Structure 1
Amino acid sequence: MTNSATHPVVQSSDSTALALGFTGTLGNIDAYISAVNRLPMLTHEQEIDLAKKLSQNNDLNAAQQLVLSHLRLVVSIARGYLGYGLPHADLIQEGNIGLMKAVKRFDPDQGVRLVSYAMHWIKAEMHEYILKNWRLVKVATTKAQRKLFFNLRSHKEGLDAMSPKQVDSLAKELNVKREEVIEMEMRLSGRDVALDAPTDDDDEKFAPIAYLKTEAEEPTRMLEAQAYDRLQTEGLETALSKLDARSRRIVEERWLKNDDGSGATLHELASEYGVSAERIRQIESAALKKMKGALANFA
């Protein structure tokens, strides 16, 4: 690193984070922020020079210097989103992604400082992260809902519901319907509920998963039900077709004629065919064994 009279700039890609001890393996977020805040800023002329080196020569060292010199901007912006309950480090990480996107697309000939241009990209990445992770169920999907999401929290006074006057005022300011403001406030006010069972041994407590799940829609059960229904229709008909006329009629009269299982008795069929009840039982047993084999092959 060479020291200018007023603004030091990294000149060698071998220098690690402006030789200020910023190694990328800092132990905690406080150490990271402390290191970032010690990184020197760039003058407008230095910024333009580095941006041109990147755009014209794809100079990665120039890109590194542009990114490092603006990391403190990401930290500052991330601090404003801590109210959403998400980790500060994660917000900074997402913001750094936005910063790198901004550096890649920055045009020094537009006459705009990188700090102003990068703010849009940094905030965009943080917004996307917050919307995806603040709730399991997304609270904002459309552009209008996103605008509402990030403005509603700053307009609410405490945890109390907004008054009709506040709702009308915010709706007018953001140019949305008052019903949309009310709906977004309800989404923000709803708390997340754990689906899993409680960790204690209190039998009086039930988690939502206990009554939300339905085994009827479980994929394995659905496949089993479909296979069973097929066996009851096509499979049964295939198995019966393997029997001779007498055996088939005995099985049908004994087991398939009535749904309640009150079929013909062995003695009734024995009387009809003029044989003993034991003979009917033997015919039935042989028929059922044959059908079992047919059903196994069908399955």
Structure 2
Amino acid sequence: MSHTASLDHLPMLAGSGSIEAFISAANRVPMLSEVEEQALARRFREHEDLDAARQLVTSHLRLVIAIARGYLGYGLPHADLIQEGNIGLMKAVKRFDPDRGVRLVSFAMHWIKAEIHEYILKNWRLVKIATTKAQRKLFFNLRSIKASLAQDADSRQGFNTLGAEEVSAVAKQLGVKPEEVIEMETRLTGADVSLEPLSDTEEESYAPIAYLAADRSVEPLAMLERKEYDRMQDEGLSSALASLDERSRAIVQRRWLVADGEEAATLHELAAEYGVSAERIRQIEVKAMQKMKGQLAA
């Protein structure tokens, strides 16, 4: 079984000159029976048969179209949403195991939605904070929750600002902080501001481009300088660590250089591991840090 077969060049309904034509053609592709689906999936997994993969993909394009239609409220082109969903579908076909007793339509939904979510988060004009799983859930559910709240209260209209009680309810329901709900709601209901003047004939303009300072950090020279500085810092740190004995190096790394998401070891944990007191671990750490500081300053 190989996962290296490429699906990049699968023929995807040739001759579709518009999104309407593509949708019409996709809906005309017959659905597969479970027996046909399993046979095609095995041909692809066992023999890297790209024609079998093409049939699996094209027979499920209507699923992509249906899912993509549910994300039109974010102001992004339907065609782009479908394209990203198609990528998710191809990833699903590549990973689909017919022996697990699950139909491809159920398995593919996760991959299709994941690709569309990533596309929206990277390209939608206002979203910059949806970085955690909870925030993503907030982003993709806040609109529907607000619409539901609006239907339950006759005095409310569509996407009006949430009240304090509603903010708390949404935060509790989605597992986020109330301030995150407020910030996301602000982003969802905020209006675009033109960066440049809307008319070339105006003598005076107060568009943001007129007074926003340039971000020097994205200039090529500044980026090269920052990259070189980071490289020198990394090399210096590696050299300083190499100057320590094995025990001191391990203590410093586990106390101060743990990977993101990991917790640093405590003095007591290291003391139990090395069979010494916590005070002794602290002394070793202080001495090691002083030596490294000297190395970095040299």
Q: Distance in 2 between matches of 1:178 and 1:74?
A: 34
Shift of 1:96: 0.2
Shift of 1:135: 1.5
Match of 1:98 among 88, 102, 108: 88
Which residue number in structure 2 is paired with residue 42 of structure 1?
Answer: 32
Q: Is the aligned partner of 1:208 residue 2:198?
A: no
Unpaired stretches in structure 1, ≥5 consecutive residues: 1-15, 223-299
- Contact in 1 for aligned 2:68/2:82 (Cα 8 Å): yes
Relative to the length of structure 2, the TM-score reads: 0.63
Rg (Cα) greater in structure: 1
Shift of 1:136: 6.5
Go from structure 1 to structure 2 and tell me whether the alpha carbon gap of 1:65 and 1:156 turns closer, same or farther (over 3 Å shift).
same
Q: Distance in 1 between matches of 2:211 and 2:195?
A: 10
Q: Distance in 2 between matches of 1:165 and 1:88?
A: 35
Shift of 1:49: 0.8
Which residue number in structure 1 is paired with residue 167 of structure 2?
Answer: 167
The residue identity in structure 2 corresponding to 1:39 is V
The residue identity in structure 2 corresponding to 1:201 is T
Shift of 1:24: 2.2
Which residue number in structure 2 is paired with residue 114 of structure 1?
Answer: 104
- Contact in 1 for aligned 2:84/2:116 (Cα 8 Å): yes
Which residue number in structure 1 is paired with residue 58 of structure 2?
Answer: 68
- Contact in 2 for aligned 1:73/1:115 (Cα 8 Å): yes
Relative to the length of structure 1, the TM-score reads: 0.63
Q: Distance in 2 between matches of 1:146 and 1:85?
A: 17
Go from structure 1 to structure 2 and tell me whether the alpha carbon gap of 1:26 and 1:44 turns closer, same or farther (over 3 Å shift).
same
The residue identity in structure 2 corresponding to 1:96 is N
Shift of 1:218: 10
Residues 17-32 of structure 1 correspond to what in structure 2 (within 5 A)?
23-32=13-22
Shift of 1:198: 2.4
Match of 1:130 among 120, 125, 130: 120
132-141 or 182-191, which deviates more: 132-141
- Contact in 1 for aligned 2:93/2:108 (Cα 8 Å): yes
- Contact in 1 for aligned 2:44/2:53 (Cα 8 Å): yes
Number of residue pairs aligned between Structure 1 and Structure 2: 203
Which residue number in structure 1 is paired with residue 241 of structure 2?
Answer: none
- Contact in 2 for aligned 1:139/1:188 (Cα 8 Å): no
- Contact in 2 for aligned 1:36/1:71 (Cα 8 Å): yes
Residues 107-256 of structure 1 correspond to what in structure 2 (within 5 A)?
107-135=97-125, 138-157=128-147, 158-213=158-213
Q: Distance in 2 between matches of 1:32 and 1:133?
A: 23
Aligned-residue sequence identity (percent) comes to 64
Q: Distance in 1 between matches of 2:67 and 2:99?
A: 26
Q: Distance in 1 between matches of 2:88 and 2:122?
A: 16
- Greater RCO (CA < 8 Å, at least 6 residues apart): 2
SS in 1 for 2:15: coil
Q: Distance in 2 between matches of 1:111 and 1:180?
A: 40
- Contact in 1 for aligned 2:13/2:22 (Cα 8 Å): no
